[in-house]
Structure 1
Amino acid sequence: MPGSTTDRARQRQRTLAEKLQWLRELKTPRGEQPPSYDMTARLISERTETSISGPYFWELATGRSTNPKLHHLRALARFFNVPVAYLAADENADFEYLEAELELLHALKQRGVHDIRLHGATDVEADLATVQDLLGRLRQLDGPGGDQARETALRLAPLDPEQQQTLHDIIDDPPLLNALRSEPARTLTRAAADLDDTRTTTAATVLQQLPLLDALHTDTTLRIALGAATLSEHSRQAVLTLVEHLTRVENAAQV
């Protein structure tokens, strides 16, 4: 609304007192009065383990004192879930997003939406930090490649935690990502998904032996390998002995 406290504050920099008053109001449930300065100071002291007296907080929140000590600033920032730099800054230019998020959460609470629950979260009430995290993710999706990023995010949502972790592991492995750009590599991956652990280990061993892969490229070698697979262990050993003998003969002939 034009002429509101928020609009007037935007026309100039907020003082520390105004920030504290705004944050204090933000934490107040809809329809209730903000707790007294003494009560607020007591809550800050309890939750941050940093002693702040009621009179001292009153001085900060009313502008009587404008130069708090660093450990007090840290306690205030922790209690109100904002960066220390926000409270310490003389200008607000670098905190436009933060102030917009503060106003959004305040507006939601004023309209009765004070119990914000996120999709996929159970019995979790969103505070300022949660809303900031959510809005930060939304801003990232609005960046370069936003449409593709949003589509990817929607596809990731139904995955179970183990599948999501697997994707994280793949993303952290650039060579693997580059390999998966190839359709033959994706075909191998799909085929491996149906293998048990023993066959997967065997397939990985074969893939690491380039001469064997080159040999299996021919129909004759494939027929020999498939035929050997049906033989008993004793017969396979006999075939291996014959192959070794033939290899020695051919090598000798080439010399």
Structure 2
Amino acid sequence: MAAGETGVPTLADRIERLFQTVRRPSREAYSNEEVARACREASGETFSATYLWQLRTGRRDNPTKRHLEALAAFFQVPPSYFFDDEQGERISEELTLLGALRDAEVRDVALRAVTLSPEGLGTISDMIEAIARREAEARRRK
């Protein structure tokens, strides 16, 4: 998760992380408009796509409790995600894992790995790390 000047993730960082990680089953990101609409319906309060964009970009940083509760409900995280640094980081890690497991190919690899010995898991982990390094290097060269 990105972090503000203090090294602690800002509200904007946390909201943006939700948008980047929690996606439709098709892996397409939710739009500001559809999240704002769902938040309006859930909270009964004014909640525009522009306001959400301002929260995501840090131009506004003091939403109401009901707005944060509506965002938390939409993204299916506890409201404390926005306030508790330790819990926020733990939830972010879980969201990353859940996002990865929505990918059918990643899920297939993970399910196959369940039956492997510790040595087999170590070998697979080493192979994944080597491939990730090679792909990162190829991206840098482009």
CA distance in 2: counterparts of 1:67 and 1:22, whole angstroms = 18
CA distance in 1: counterparts of 2:104 and 2:46, whole angstroms = 33
Question: Structure 1 residues 64-73 or 78-87, which shifts more?
Answer: 78-87
| Shift in CA distance, 63/96, structure 1 to aligned 2, threshold 3 Å | closer
CA distance in 1: counterparts of 2:51 and 2:89, whole angstroms = 28
The answer to whether residue 19 in structure 2 is matched with residue 24 in structure 1 is: yes
Q: Which residue of 2 aligns with 1:72?
A: 67
CA distance in 2: counterparts of 1:94 and 1:32, whole angstroms = 25
| Shift in CA distance, 103/69, structure 1 to aligned 2, threshold 3 Å | same
Q: Which residue of 2 aligns with 1:40?
A: 35
| Shift in CA distance, 37/96, structure 1 to aligned 2, threshold 3 Å | closer
Sequence identity (%): 34
The one of 77, 89, 93 aligned to 2:86: 93
Contact persistence 2:80–2:88 (CA under 8 A): no
- SS state at 2:97 partner: helix
CA distance in 2: counterparts of 1:61 and 1:54, whole angstroms = 10
State the TM-score, normalized to the length of structure 1.
0.35
Contact persistence 2:36–2:49 (CA under 8 A): yes
- Structure 1 gap ranges (5+): 1-5, 116-255
CA distance in 1: counterparts of 2:40 and 2:49, whole angstroms = 10
State the TM-score, normalized to the length of structure 2.
0.59
- Structure 2 gap ranges (5+): 108-142
**Larger Rg belongs to:** 1
How many matched pairs? 105
Task: Please show how residues 44-59 of structure 1 align to structure 2 within 5 Å.
Answer: 44-59=39-54
CA distance in 1: counterparts of 2:104 and 2:42, whole angstroms = 26
CA shift, 1:80, in A, is 1.4
Task: Please show how residues 162-201 of structure 1 align to structure 2 within 5 Å.
Answer: none
The one of 82, 96, 99 aligned to 1:106: 99
Matched AA of 1:67:
N
CA distance in 2: counterparts of 1:43 and 1:112, whole angstroms = 27
Contact persistence 2:18–2:75 (CA under 8 A): yes
Higher RCO (CA < 8 A, seq sep 6+): 2
CA distance in 2: counterparts of 1:80 and 1:39, whole angstroms = 12
The one of 66, 78, 83 aligned to 1:83: 78
Contact persistence 1:45–1:52 (CA under 8 A): yes
Matched AA of 1:41:
A
